[in-house]
Structure formats: C-alpha cells, structure tokens
Structure 1
Amino acid sequence: MINNNPIGVFDSGIGGTSIWSAIHDLLPNEKTIYLADSKNAPYGQKSKDEIVDLSKKNVEFLLENNCKLIVVACNTATTNAIFELREAYDVPFVGIEPAIKPAANNSQTQVIGILATKGTLNSELFNKTAEMFQHTTIIEQVGHGLVQLIEDGNLYSPEMTQLLESYLQPMIEANIDYLVLGCSHYPYLIPQIKKILPDHIKIIDSGEAVARQTKNLLRDKVGFSDSTENDPVFYVNSNPKVLESILEHKYPVIRKDF
C-alpha cells in the first residue's frame, strides 16, 4: 500500500525533535511535518483541559496539511490527551509515554528513577502504568524548569547543571539502576546527565520504540511513501532560532502563528 502523505509530529516545543530524529532515521523515505508549539511550552504545568485543547489545535493544523498519521511527541500531551484525540479524529495516532516497562523488567536493584513533567507524573495513564510494577520502587521527580531552559536555548547553563544535580542525586542515593526520561525534551540532556550518574545507571528514552510503532502502523494500516520528495518541514510559533540550532541548521524552520 502506497501513501505519499506526510507523517505529522507535534510537541509542546523543540523537545519532540528527539522523537522526530528517531522516526527520520528509521523511515528516511517518509516526508514529515514537525510542529513546535513553543509559544505554549511547557505543557507540564497546564491543566488537563488546556493540554487537550492545545493538542487538538495542533492536530487540526497537521490534518490541514494532509498528514496520514500523527505522532504525539510529547509525554504530557500523550498521557493527558491521547484518548480524547483518538475519539475526536479519524487518523492513527502514536503516543509517547515514559518507558517504565523495560526499566522495571531489567532492573537488578528493583529501584528505578523517572524524570518527567508534573503533567505526566500526575496523569491517569502514567499512574495506571506504574501500578503494574508494584515490586519495583519508582522514584518520581518533576523536572521543574528543565523544559523552559531548553526552550530558551540554555541547554548548557550553570542553572541547568544545578537543577539536574539536585534532581538526580536523591535517585543515586536511592540505588536506582535505570533512569527513565519521561519528557521528549530530556534526551538533549543526556550528555550532562551522564556526567552526574554513575556508569552503571542506564538511561532509557522512548524515541526508538515510537519510531518502531510508527513503522508498524504504516505497514499495517496507513501505507509507506514511495515519493522522492521527502524533505522534512518544521513549523514553530515562536522564535525559530533555538529550533534551528537543535536541528544544527540542516533544515529551514518556518515561523507560523497557530
């Protein structure tokens, strides 16, 4: 089955480009449209109703651009709005949620850490997932301030280092052997996180799993592209410079109010 329409990807800002990158690496022949709602970032401090409304707005923008499948590349939007999106729109969705299962199943200490937004950790979906692993101690930490620093282009600032140390040190003391990154922005912090964590603590994010699920949906339901016109398109509704920098200036970024 051939379907040359693009894959849509949205996030509360630039963080979902970590998910987009995994999809692009696995499916290089697919055209993608990435939507960064940076004007409204971070979603993690907003109410469920606000998150649902913003997510629907993003989906409608992507559907107007004929997207055949939509990846919700935001943990907070997935855990708070994915059910509402699937009910409201007749298009396949791929969500992203913290990778608790592989961490809990592989942990030797039976203690894992999760760094995520308040919106994700408070969501019903997250708590239902966490309840499945009652033999594992889950150390939850809200990453207050991390998303905003990334969105502001302060990835390597002293403030970022200080925040990460304050969030991770209690997890180290609690004897975690896996750290789950529960926000699509956080993979950009991995180089700094590795400087803080002991070598035996493994870091897990959801990018590759989301890319594999996207591929499975294309194969089973939607159809792959056979077009040679597959340059990605990036939209943002705030200053494009940070997104351009994250993309290493490889692709143009279009500023658009939405």
Structure 2
Amino acid sequence: MDKSNNPIGLFDSGIGGTSIWKEIHCLLPHENSIYLADSKNAPYGQRPKQEIIDLSIKNTEYLLDHGAKIIVVACNTATTNAITELREKYKDVNFIGIEPAIKPAAIHTQTGAIGILATKGTLSSELFTKTVSGFKNIHVVEQVGYNLVALIEDGRINSPEIKELLKEYLKPMIEARIDHLVLGCSHYPYLIPQIQEILPKDVKIIDSGEAVARQTKKVLQSAGLLNPSLDKSHQVFYTNSDPQVLNSILKNRYTVEQQDF
C-alpha cells in the first residue's frame, strides 16, 4: 500500500518539538504532518527512564493509529532514553531521533570549551554520556535547565523568571570561555533571543532542527515515502493540555485540537 501521502508523525513532551516541526515543514512544505504535544506529562526530563519509554510508546501508538508513515521523536529526552526500545518494538517503522549537536560544536570550537544546556533526562542518559566521551580533549560545561520547560509550557517565554534562570545557568559557561552553546532540548530554541542577550556576541548557538529536517528527508527518500503531491499540505496539531500556548507558538495559523491521550 502506498503511504507516501500519509502524514509525518511527530511527538514531544509539549510544545517544544514545534521547533523541529518548523524546520521539517520549511524543507518539506508538501508533506502532511501530525504533531502530538504531550504537555500533560511535561517535562519528560525529570521522569524515570521506564516512564519516558512508556510515554513514548503511548505517543507512537497514537500517531501510528492516525496513519503516520514515519515517526519523528521531537524530544531529546525521549530520543536519548527511549528510541532504542521504540525501534526494537516497531521494527517496520522508521524513527528519526534528535540528540544534542555536540559533534559540530566540538569540531569547530576554538577555545576548547563548549556548553550544553539540556534536561536532566538527556544529560544523565547512556547515549549522551557515550557521545560526550568521544571528545576527551574538549571541556564540556553541562547544565540542567531546571524549570525552563515548565515555564515555556506555561506561556512565560519572555518572563523575568526565565531570564534570571538563564543568567544563572549560562554564567559558568561564560566563565569557562565557551564559544559554542548546544541546546539539548527542543523547547530551548524559543529562548534564543534571551540567550543571545546574555552570552558574548561571538558564542555560536547550535540546535538540531535543520539536521533533523535533512535526515527526515533522507529517510523518506530512501524508503520511497516522499509525498509526490504538490497540493497544499495538511498540518494537524493535538495537545492534551490547554491549547492556548501551542496556538501562540504557531501564531494561530493552524488548528490545534485538544484531546485526551
């Protein structure tokens, strides 16, 4: 059965993964998509590994039931903690994960120091630890972004609380003379304007969005699943919480449905 017209399925522990969705939609504007915002259970980063796996399976089942032809795990915590289990459980499904873009930062650093702002779940994962261990000559300043996701989910992206937390979290990185900051959570790109106000001008901020979009296109091509249609695509957004914040992030351009899942 030809599934090329079926939607790309994406899920995240809330609205953050829309930063990934935007890059995919920009690169593949004719692809249909379904986005699942599991805001009710956000943030994943503070949850035990098995709970993250269970939530990821629940989201995957929902997207597959709605005809998703590929699953983008638009959440660093879910990727680093659950994507291996997802691939083992759903052997016929292509999964695209996202991880902190440590490699380009480590390769291009001139000061020998890079910063990583991520959730506790990502920084404590085996996958992250394995990735970082490959760059022994680089000083990596890790910081858990406590409460950042919760504030973003609450619609307080430009709040004084977020700015104060960012100043606290970025201070050790500035003191370590980092020249690259890796954003290890799909919510964090929405904080880039505030981060730029705090960091020195020459620090480069890296997120995974464009790389994930390119990988999604590559996998769709390899699997023969690229949508050949040039018709206007359909973008569907589901949330199990108040849709107001998700609507705001999407600038009210798309329909957001509140559903219990």
Coarse TM-score class (shorter-chain normalised)? over 0.9
Task: Map residues 1-258 of structure 1 onto 2, 5 A cutoff.
Answer: 3-89=4-90, 90-227=92-229, 228-258=231-261
Runs of at least 5 residues in structure 1 that lack an aligned partner in the other structure? none
Q: 1: distance between equivalents of 2:3 and 2:45?
A: 37
CA-to-aligned-CA distance 1:179-238 (integer Å, 9 cap, x gap): 000000000000000000011100000000000000000111142112325120000000
Q: 2: distance between equivalents of 1:2 and 1:130?
A: 37
CA-to-aligned-CA distance 1:26-70 (integer Å, 9 cap, x gap): 000100100000000000000000000000000000000111100
Q: 2: distance between equivalents of 1:247 and 1:210?
A: 19
Shift of 1:164: 0.2
Identity %: 66
SS in structure 1 of the partner of residue 169 of structure 2? helix
- Which amino acid in structure 2 is aligned with residue 239 of structure 1? D
What is the total number of aligned residue pairs between the two structures?
258
Q: 2: distance between equivalents of 1:129 and 1:249?
A: 38
- Which amino acid in structure 2 is aligned with residue 71 of structure 1? V
CA-to-aligned-CA distance 1:77-127 (integer Å, 9 cap, x gap): 000000000001121000000000000000001100000000000000000
Q: 1: distance between equivalents of 2:3 and 2:85?
A: 28
- Which amino acid in structure 2 is aligned with residue 143 of structure 1? G
- Which amino acid in structure 2 is aligned with residue 176 of structure 1? I
Q: 1: distance between equivalents of 2:87 and 2:254?
A: 31
Q: 2: distance between equivalents of 1:87 and 1:200?
A: 42
Q: 1: distance between equivalents of 2:123 and 2:111?
A: 22
Q: 2: distance between equivalents of 1:18 and 1:222?
A: 25
SS in structure 2 of the partner of residue 71 of structure 1? strand
Indicate conservation of the 8 Å contact 1:118/1:142, yes or no: yes
Indicate conservation of the 8 Å contact 1:2/1:226, yes or no: no
Q: 1: distance between equivalents of 2:233 and 2:257?
A: 17
Q: 4+ residue runs of structure 1 moved beyond 2 angstroms?
A: none
Shift of 1:2: 7.0
CA-to-aligned-CA distance 1:157-188 (integer Å, 9 cap, x gap): 11010000000011000110000000000000
Q: 2: distance between equivalents of 1:121 and 1:204?
A: 16
Q: CA RMSD in A?
A: 0.9
Runs of at least 5 residues in structure 2 that lack an aligned partner in the other structure? none
Indicate conservation of the 8 Å contact 1:112/1:138, yes or no: yes
